[in-house]
């Protein structure tokens, strides 16, 4: 069974600073996909960034980047130049390409507060 672990229940960062959120996962699959979703107070789930396991290059989306360490099964999210609008719950998620479904397995989330 796949599991996703986020070991930081809460974090805070000063506006304009950089913060890194941790995520580890466990799977026996060789081909899979990893995601970070943002959930602001409105509770909408917003896709922030994705990473295909077969790609060695770390994904980047504007101020958001990941550090994907496949051997260590680690997938951390770095937010640069933090903004007040980044305040949200952040969920790490995992899926595989096995037949039948692409269901997501989520971690418990990290609550990020950006302090002005």
CA distance 106 to 4: 6
What does the buried/exposed string (b/e) look like for 68-96 if buried means 16 or more CB atoms within 10 Å of the residue's CB? beeeebebbbbbeebeeebbbbbbbbbbb
Q: Measured from the CB of residue 95, what is the shortest distance to other proteins in angstroms?
A: 5
Q: Which is nearer to other proteins, 43 or 116 (CB)?
A: 43
Q: Measured from the CB of residue 32, what is the shortest distance to other proteins in angstroms?
A: 9
Q: Which is nearer to other proteins, 68 or 91 (CB)?
A: 91
Q: Which is nearer to other proteins, 28 or 42 (CB)?
A: 42
Q: Are 91 and 111 in contact (CB under 8 A)?
A: no
Interface residues toward other proteins, by CB under 8 A: 33, 35, 37, 42-47, 50, 91, 93, 95, 97, 100-109
């Amino acid at each position: 069974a796949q599991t996703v672990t986020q070991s930081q229940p809460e974090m805070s960062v000063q506006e304009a600073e950089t913060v890194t959120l941790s995520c580890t996962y466990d799977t026996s699959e060789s081909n899979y996909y990893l995601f970070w979703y943002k959930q602001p107070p409105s509770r909408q789930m917003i896709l922030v960034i994705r990473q295909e396991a077969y790609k060695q290059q770390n994904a980047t989306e504007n101020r958001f980047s990941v550090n994907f360490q496949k051997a260590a099964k680690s997938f951390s999210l770095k937010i640069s130049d933090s903004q007040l609008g980044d305040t949200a719950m952040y969920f790490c998620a995992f899926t595989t390409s096995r037949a039948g479904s692409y269901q997501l397995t989520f971690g418990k989330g990290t609550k990020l507060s950006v302090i002005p």
